[in-house]
Structure 1
């Protein structure tokens, strides 16, 4: 079983702010969910691998043609990276991602009969996957309680005063300590949406933010 990283002391006031953050997100984004478009766990896995250092918009623009050509792991396992590359060329790091997709599809067929396993360690072991990918896939496809820490989640956790960590795995542990397990998935999606729409990295819209009254960095820009 993958061990969780140890983390340092939580920031002062974090336990008081946490329920306020959750309440604000519930008001702002009651139906928060992933913006990646998928129909099956395999499609979600592929889309999540593609989303590393890329926008969901660019991934969603590329995946219809990709999934039409390779609708499941069995089909993609027969492809070479050079076959996949033209379909994902608009996405950053497309050559490396094409290699990972071809390899992970083969492993899914060899180890899991072509199905995405409902197992954290098994997903982490796939090429191009990692802790964040496993959390995204298992939480959205199988209802696994998880907080996937991407750039937005990590940045907002530090800005709002929920964590001081820069390591995503340690931020994940801090957030798990602060929020109820049954709200972890919602928290992940809510923070991402807030980071995209209001708490924008270079120009946070603090005047429009429901968290301004308790955010320790209100009015601060990067």
Structure 2
């Protein structure tokens, strides 16, 4: 069965173009004009990926994204933001809220499909370890996608979870921003090292006192150690 992708976009022409492009690339696309229709769709099926416009007529895409990432059921669904906004501030808000990627309009169909495939590859990474990862009061169960910090369960976005697993599997090793981008985001984000910083900041905040184990190595990147 083709992978199901939801498109939340109030512009009918863009919505239909994206659905057609996804279909030709082997995906199954379903479009929604507003948040109300989208939530109805989510109650029926959970897609493999969501393409989300920011400017919507009833509820903006950032608000929807926050609800998704705070949901136990939907937090692991990858989201790519589609928007005409191009300022760094808007990008950071989307990434900080948990978006997996960010594409500005107008965009090329080939670029869109390439990014969709890249995010899908990362979200479907095979064979997580059977053995739980642990450091002090921090533990990660890859099989169950469950994180515990200081005895409390922590809900992470898909990218935050992957980033934490990568850090813990390389404990004590300094990982450069470029290397993290290559491994976690699967392709080159030129000039987008801010993406890593945003996700590290979010991870530290959600992990509470355990977040202090994630160390910044000035001018290089990050490492995790007790």
TM-score when normalising by structure 2: 0.26
**Which has the larger helix fraction?**
1
Which of the pair has the greater relative contact order for Cα pairs under 8 Å at 6+ separation?
Answer: 1
